[in-house]
Amino acid sequence: MERHWLLCLLITTLVASTMAADEEAQQRAADRVTNLPGQPPVPFQHYSGYIQLQTQNEKSMFYWFFEAQTEPALKPLVIWLHGGPGCSSVAFGAAQEIGPFLVRRPSYFTNRLTFNEYSWNKVANVLFLESPVSVGFSYTNNSNDLLEIGDQVVANDTLAFLLGWFKRFPDFKSHDFYIIGESYGGHYAPQLAHLIYETNKGATQDSFINLKGFMMGNAVINDQTDTLGIVDYAWSHGIISDKLYQSLKADCEDFKLPHTSSQCNNQLKAFFDAFSGIDIFNVYSPVCVLNFSSTTTSSNLEDVGFEIPSTFDPCVNNYVRKYFNQKEVQRALHANVTNLPYPYTLCSGDADARVPVTSTRYSITKLGLPVIGEWRPWFYKRQVGRVGWRLMVKDSPWPPYAAEVTKPHYRHEIGHFLCSPIFCLTVACHLPGFDLR
């Protein structure tokens, strides 16, 4: 009788598991993107949609996934986490930086997508996640969730998302997995890596994630060194005066105190006022001077005397916002399924003054890691592409892999890189994209 009961239980479990797998396979097929407006023809598949978190059924996280252009079964899997906090990985990472389809300036009242020859899905399967909930198309049905968002909550939700995503895409579960974080992703990436590392210790076959490394680009790492680096960068690039620079250093005491004084706050206001007409994310680029509307096209951009640079368009954020607010685009991406009562927004390098190379260098110094190579240029096709140095961690339980800290001069690559001394195992970064060798 007992054997009969156990056999029935086993059969019931197998049937339930098979039904769940079939349901996920059907949803995966439904998530495939086939009619994205403006998309150029490509030989690879891409998918987008929602993963409902198992731990919090009221939360649904939006993703956009691109299979590698060739041999996706043999390529690693990368998840891209944007910063802010509160900025969209889809609107920035996918549509402006490393995705295969870049949104470009309007033509005949519609945005167009162009193929990105430097897309990271040349060398990896790339997954973009809009996180935390309320960012982009991700949402929650419980408004209290918005009051509890913090780094630990984001890490827990992202892990829950990944476990759900791997059920929908089980073929990628055994792939080498890498986490990439940009800007405030300098908090997200290592915290998620640590959570996965600890969870893997007691994981089952279904919950184990094959984590191999993580990387942070233009990373927000440490408040004191980050802020000090921003101020030094602005002064060294002639954005602020000697007087303001000295006042900031004196009144803010090099930002070493946990709380700023009223005098320091006044100096900081003057500091950010100095950037009022400058793109803090690219101090050498022009700023978008248009009051962008749905009828703005490339022709009337020139009518107002605005010459669009051939290599960099400062109005691209406006184009991206307009593109993802189009209903036909949302339908193609299986997005905004709840008809959110507000429009899609983008946010709730060497020219980057917000998380500049000076901040990264100060933070690197604070880590106290030994430098094994001097500062030197890195070349790409006989041109200096970036400069940087290499770090190596000694006396650790992991092999002494090098962590490369570099500074590029190409728009198609993240600014400066900081690899974890623990998790930067096999990650190497090479122009013009990301080479996982």
- pLDDT for 61-98, tens place per residue? 999 999 999 999 999 999 999 988 888 999 999 999 99
Q: What is the mean pLDDT of residues 335-358?
A: 72
Q: What is the mean pLDDT of residues 374-384?
A: 56
Q: What is the mean pLDDT of residues 384-393?
A: 50
Mean pLDDT score of the chain, rounded to an integer? Answer: 77
Return contacts of 339-344, CB within 8 angstroms, 24+ apart: 340/137, 340/139, 344/91, 344/136, 344/137
Q: How does pLDDT run across 6-58, given as a tens digit for each residue?
A: 555 555 555 445 556 688 889 999 999 999 999 999 999 999 999 999 655 68
What string of H, E and C letters represents the secondary structure of the chain?
CHHHHHHHHHHHHHHHHHHHHHHHHHHHHHHECCCCCCCCCCCCCEEEEEEECCCCCCEEEEEEEECCCCCHHHCCEEEEECCCCCECHHHHHHHHHCCCEEEEEEECCEEEEEECCCCHHHCCEEEEECCCCCCCCCEECCHHHHHCCCHHHHHHHHHHHHHHHHHHCHHHCCCCEEEEEECCHHHHHHHHHHHHHHHHCCCCCCCCCCEEEEEEECCCCCHHHHHHHHHHHHHHCCCCCHHHHHHHHHHCHHHCCCCCCHHHHHHHHHHHHCCCCCCCCCCCCCCCCCCCCCCCCHHHHHHCCCCCCCCCCCCHHHHHHHHHCCHHHHHHCCCCCCCCCCCCCCECCCCCCCCCHHHHHHHHHHHCCCEEEEEEEEEECCEEEEEEEEEECCCCCCCCCEEEEEEECCCCCCCCEEECCCCCCCCEEECCEEECC
Q: What is the mean pLDDT of residues 184-190?
A: 90
At 282, the amino acid letter reads: N
| pLDDT of 335 | 96
| pLDDT of 4 | 60
pLDDT over 70 (residue 153): yes
Q: What is the mean pLDDT of residues 174-188?
A: 92
pTM of the model: 0.76
